[in-house]
Structure 1
């Protein structure tokens, strides 16, 4: 595989990767990929990359591979495009790897080679341990390149990527993520207050008007708050020590619970369960039976992506699986809302309660529009922010996602709160006549 193909593969990894840098112990076994991304990290002027490689073995179906064709290198976003276009031109005579193949990415003048297997110790098992200072602040990806044809590599790799603060302490979070723990702590506190207010006003003060759905909504708020607390602790310990100290397990646990409860609440509200009717129809049960297992798979995918990183061979596939499942779930939860709107429109022709029906139609239409906006923002806009924002401002996408989520939660909890006399259902004769005219003139087609 030539250098141009390798660099285009690197570009794909850059676009879909979102790694959390920390101390990593990685094991690679008989891997033949031409390029492997270990992680990405935003460095300051006092950044370092520590790499320890051991138990190295290279096998090939051809002759013994040249060790200078296998090695580690750094590549920044700034130099990536230059490297791709530069690969089409003649390599300058000042080749950083003069003994290697000119088509190897390690020979590109746009990458920052760290070391090749030629630099490894000759003792058995092969071992190499070195710390590399960063001379130019930027976001870099740490890669391993295998330019030897028909060869497979096995090795154990221990990596540390960090910045040294002015006080001498190491910061294992990328520059753009340094403020993420504080963001998570802030929103965890906000949701804790939200939960306390919800319990007091909805489940206690208006307990006679509360439905079973409101208890499930309370569980959702609790899971969200706990998820954010664990996320904050997870990021804090990674920043200070390089490892999550077990907080990642709790984070994934509450993320799993929160994800299932969120989609369940959206579906139950969309079907009108506990608001319009105390039961679920067969088709609505099928949606729940589809979405909940898919959410389980999505959470498993999330764990694989978060705990392993892009160095595993099927990491790109897992990303695609997670995206596909997420799209299916987002589409599936729309159907109950559409069914409720159509049912209300049909009912309005026969029940003689035009004002109440119009109010319900307005309510569900608003819910439908807000839900689409929320899903679009958190799935597309947030991803765009992660991709296009400068590495120093990656925290912006986290803050934007949490702010959008809080706005969405506030809308659905306020709109569907338990109240003694809901404004949507207060009727008088004038409203009834106006609603009958509106129902005849307004088309609520989606």
Structure 2
């Protein structure tokens, strides 16, 4: 029983990960080579009631070579929702069915017993076909995962399968007959990304205006903020074009490469900006301490690894044997980066608190201390929302409204950018240095109360 339960658990894990992961749903080419898995998730798509799955499979081969009496009905492709797959696993454990292809809860797209040629009247043996092309029409809307099942894998002979699979999933507009290769829940993404791109372009133009009007108060980090805005805008533009081409043609036509490039530059620049602001570079001091440089030396290489992992996850798909590993690497590296960028802010808060007690400028340092505390809280909220809440929305939202999680994440990112720019904008008359005696005494009293509260 334990040996039988292990493949089932692995199959459940693979399909759950495939269903939970965002997919481009473009035309996908998959090379399967001597794969021993019983369940191979290939791709995910949200179908309307006019959905179509096209399969073009070539080079079907078995290892060891198949015998003439091999039961080909034990191999095939099917579509399944997450809820249906949980019940299928229960059927397998209760021995109600011996193969997922036999369950009435899945939608069988193609089984290999259809490869067997019809009987030859002359009695001449005909070789079994090793390829097929098939179109399967989906009439029940839902979020489906395309899965290949090999029900003889691990069953005594450990039969492995090799083949080249080209799959295309799309919805047909009944009015125009046009194909839409984007999932139902992703069809609004091109417009959403372009709208946010316009918003960031307007922010960048507004920031340039501020820099020109307040040249005497501009620091180098303000130009860096402008660069982050520009990279974010180009990233959104590339993503909008990427999704737009996929929706119309099923392929990205090179826009995915630009998207990965700008996503990489945007990620590194944003994390670097948070570290630089957190250290007070260009605001409090014109240099970075050794420990702060080490943070950057850790964050930047980790961002390189995270972007490599993201490319592998997006381009390979859940069918790849190391797909789960790369996904775990991406999540781990992202968490480490988010934690690392908090340390410089904590160090600045500590240094400002100590300076407020020793250099006689309690009010000035208290205002700076308050600002950095606010920024620390906002960074934590931003990380929590974009790394936890947004992914939670993906799991609880209907497949038709998966675009809402993208909107929520982009709104949170936009709010973070606006807050950062507003709180650290260039000011000609810096309020830090316009402090009277009464404010100085009030600040000293506030610091004293703060110390008593900590004790």
Shared fold by TM > 0.5?
yes
**Contact between 2:16 and 2:82, CA under 8 Å: does it hold in 1?**
no
Q: CA offset at residue 10 of structure 1?
A: 4.4
Task: Say whether residues 1:5 and 2:9 are aligned partners.
Answer: yes
**Alpha-carbon distance between aligned partners in 1 of 2:317 and 2:221, rounded to the nearest angstrom:** 38
Q: In the superposition, relative to structure 1, how do residues 63 and 167 fare at CA in structure 2: closer, same or farther (>3 Å)?
A: closer
**Contact between 1:37 and 1:141, CA under 8 Å: does it hold in 2?**
yes
Unaligned runs of 5+ residues in structure 2 are 118-126
User: TM-score scaled to structure 2, two decimals?
Assistant: 0.92
**SS of aligned partner of 2:435:** coil
Q: In the superposition, relative to structure 1, how do residues 9 and 69 fare at CA in structure 2: closer, same or farther (>3 Å)?
A: farther
> For residues 355-410 of structure 1, what are the alpha-carbon distances to aligned partners after superposition, in whole Å with 9 as ceiling and x for unaligned?
00100110000000000000000000000011111000000000000000000000
Equivalent residue, structure 2, for 1:161: 169
**Contact between 2:115 and 2:129, CA under 8 Å: does it hold in 1?**
no
Q: CA offset at residue 121 of structure 1?
A: 5.9
> In structure 2, which of residues 97, 101, 105 is the aligned counterpart of residue 106 of structure 1?
101
Q: In the superposition, relative to structure 1, how do residues 188 and 121 fare at CA in structure 2: closer, same or farther (>3 Å)?
A: farther
Equivalent residue, structure 2, for 1:372: 380
Q: CA offset at residue 154 of structure 1?
A: 1.0
Q: In the superposition, relative to structure 1, how do residues 111 and 8 fare at CA in structure 2: closer, same or farther (>3 Å)?
A: same
**Alpha-carbon distance between aligned partners in 2 of 1:22 and 1:379, rounded to the nearest angstrom:** 25
Equivalent residue, structure 2, for 1:177: 186
**Aligned positions of 1:1-400 closer than 5 A:** 1=4, 4-5=8-9, 7-14=11-18, 16-60=20-64, 66-91=71-96, 102-120=97-115, 126-148=130-152, 149=154, 150-165=158-173, 166-201=175-210, 203-400=211-408
**Contact between 1:53 and 1:129, CA under 8 Å: does it hold in 2?**
yes
| Greater mean deviation of Cα atoms: 135-144 or 24-33 | 24-33
**Alpha-carbon distance between aligned partners in 1 of 2:12 and 2:311, rounded to the nearest angstrom:** 27
**Alpha-carbon distance between aligned partners in 2 of 1:212 and 1:125, rounded to the nearest angstrom:** 67
Task: Say whether residues 1:432 and 2:440 are aligned partners.
Answer: yes
Q: CA offset at residue 13 of structure 1?
A: 2.3
Q: CA offset at residue 85 of structure 1?
A: 3.3
Q: In the superposition, relative to structure 1, how do residues 298 and 135 fare at CA in structure 2: closer, same or farther (>3 Å)?
A: same
Q: In the superposition, relative to structure 1, how do residues 384 and 425 fare at CA in structure 2: closer, same or farther (>3 Å)?
A: farther
**Alpha-carbon distance between aligned partners in 1 of 2:95 and 2:32, rounded to the nearest angstrom:** 33
Matched positions, count: 434
Q: CA offset at residue 261 of structure 1?
A: 0.2
**SS of aligned partner of 2:134:** strand
Q: CA offset at residue 63 of structure 1?
A: 7.2
Equivalent residue, structure 2, for 1:96: none
Q: In the superposition, relative to structure 1, how do residues 421 and 48 fare at CA in structure 2: closer, same or farther (>3 Å)?
A: same
Equivalent residue, structure 1, for 2:120: none
**Alpha-carbon distance between aligned partners in 1 of 2:139 and 2:308, rounded to the nearest angstrom:** 39
**Alpha-carbon distance between aligned partners in 2 of 1:332 and 1:272, rounded to the nearest angstrom:** 16
User: TM-score scaled to structure 1, two decimals?
Assistant: 0.93
**SS of aligned partner of 1:51:** strand
**Contact between 1:7 and 1:83, CA under 8 Å: does it hold in 2?**
no
| Greater mean deviation of Cα atoms: 77-86 or 331-340 | 77-86
